[in-house]
Structure 1
């Protein structure tokens, strides 16, 4: 790629700026062009996480989602709005790289774990892209809970709370340890699934893990009709084999 630049997606970790890797910090602080996702009218969490790290003359590209939670995921209009958005930005980033530039894309957590960058990655030439892994949000949350998530032979399940209530209950019942993500307005359904699987008493909700405003509560302490913020993760800690 001597004549080309590249697109580098940098995993920023779970929220605490001190949990960036050394490689991520170096790339962010020396970037000439940075791109990041955000909701229209919002600064975007990824951008907030690097406040004070960017070069004074850096060029910023704000990739504003056309839709976030206004349309249900299962509505065809959701993909209908997002597919052209990802296609457009993939072409724009590709053009910058073909012109010899390096564009650093900021991503919360790890880019390959439910990250929006995956949809650009799938549309960009593989030889043009580099991905820098980051500490995952779930790792930040289970560490914040003060308890190991998996012991010995525990099987860990990572589950989106966008699944049906019945499927969530089935997976909860079959798992030794579990992480539920994408909670938000799905928290009441997730609560019912936990109760159906007989594991409500053991569940913890970590909101904004490692970030300002972090809150950790047992699910039994949370009102039945309460919704969770976007950055919330539910944990069921494993109790498996140990010496």
Structure 2
């Protein structure tokens, strides 16, 4: 007879829950109360990290993490397929969940707005583990607030446009938009800027990088030097009227 058959149900471990916590764009105080409270009670904390570097997500919540927690750094290798990394992380997290431990997975911004947690969510949910997602302040909302630039109003259509799109696609998207947030700039910045200039939208474009962090920088796009570069954590907000309230 198996051990499970001879062990009282009350003695069996209750499956833990994985929580995808949106922890905001960078400023520690922009974590929600719900995410904070879950973080205080979680047995295990997991977070994305560079292969040989620190984790921005872990740095954001550093002052909120209680001592003595088990930590899982999900090491991302740039330029390599991500699926095997998320496969392995989901298996590791799953073992803790089966042992009855709750796991808080940190995600910068919001977990379901271009957030890395969605890849773990799919794997864990498909494996039958309890998973809950806690929304967070997205970088787009934070950038708008820091710039003092409302995203959209009335019947405006707001587009979220990834910088890696081709010039042709960028031109098509921006050529017929009321308002846009262009994300994932990085090495695509020069291409994006070129398209914006060709469409005559430069004077209505605002640039911001590392929103809410001490290293934050924001400036009208047209005031940047011609040879300026942009980090991955940067964004351009455009509104065809200049300001949404006009």
Q: Name the CA distance, whole Å, in 1 between partners of 2:133 and 2:244.
A: 35
The equivalent of 2:213 in structure 1 is 211
Q: CA deviation at 1:47?
A: 0.3
Deviation string, structure 1 residues 219-241 (Cα, Å, up to 9, x no partner): 11112332211211110135388
The within-5 A match list for 1:1-243 is 3-67=14-78, 71=79, 78=80, 81-125=81-125, 128-237=130-239, 239=241
Structure with larger Rg = 2
Aligned partner of residue 54 in structure 2, secondary structure: coil
Structure-1-length-normalised TM-score: 0.90
Q: Is the 8 A contact 1:142 1:149 kept in 2?
A: yes
Unaligned residue ranges in structure 1 (runs of 5+) = 72-77
Deviations 1:27-65 (A, max 9, x none): 122322100001022221110011121111111111110
State the alpha-carbon separation in 1 of the partners of residues 29 and 52 from structure 2.
27
Give the paired residue count. Answer: 231
Aligned partner of residue 120 in structure 1, secondary structure: helix
SS in 2 for 1:52: helix
Unaligned runs of 5+ in 2: 1-12
Structure 1 residues 57 and 156, CA gap change in structure 2 (3 angstroms): same
CA–CA separation in structure 1 for the residues paired with 2:244 and 2:110: 29
Q: How much is the aligned-residue C-alpha RMSD, in angstroms?
A: 1.7
